[in-house]
Amino acid sequence: METSVLTAKGQLLIPKRIRNKYGIKSGVKVIFEETDKGVIIRPMNEEYFNSYMGILKSDGNLKEEMKQYKEVEKKREERKQRLFKGKNSK
């Protein structure tokens, strides 16, 4: 079992052995999960995000949906540009 001490600034040092074992490197965000037994600290790494894969339902055609979304956004932006140019040309 490893221990650590909370600083006056609320910082906590994660022991090196644990950082290495779980791939917690400088700049990696961690999540604090509250449970009935206490707090679990987990890195928000690729494994964390992969655990959520598939929870959103889709018809499986995300590429086409994104293409359509980008087209709509492009048209909106072009319309804004035309309106902006029209106001500034007066």
pLDDT at 54 over 90: no
CA nearest 22: which of 54, 53, 44, 51?
44
24-51 confidence digits (pLDDT tens):
888 888 889 899 999 998 888 767 666 6
Q: What is the pLDDT of residue 13?
A: 92
pTM of this prediction exceeds 0.75: no
CA nearest 47: which of 22, 25, 27?
22
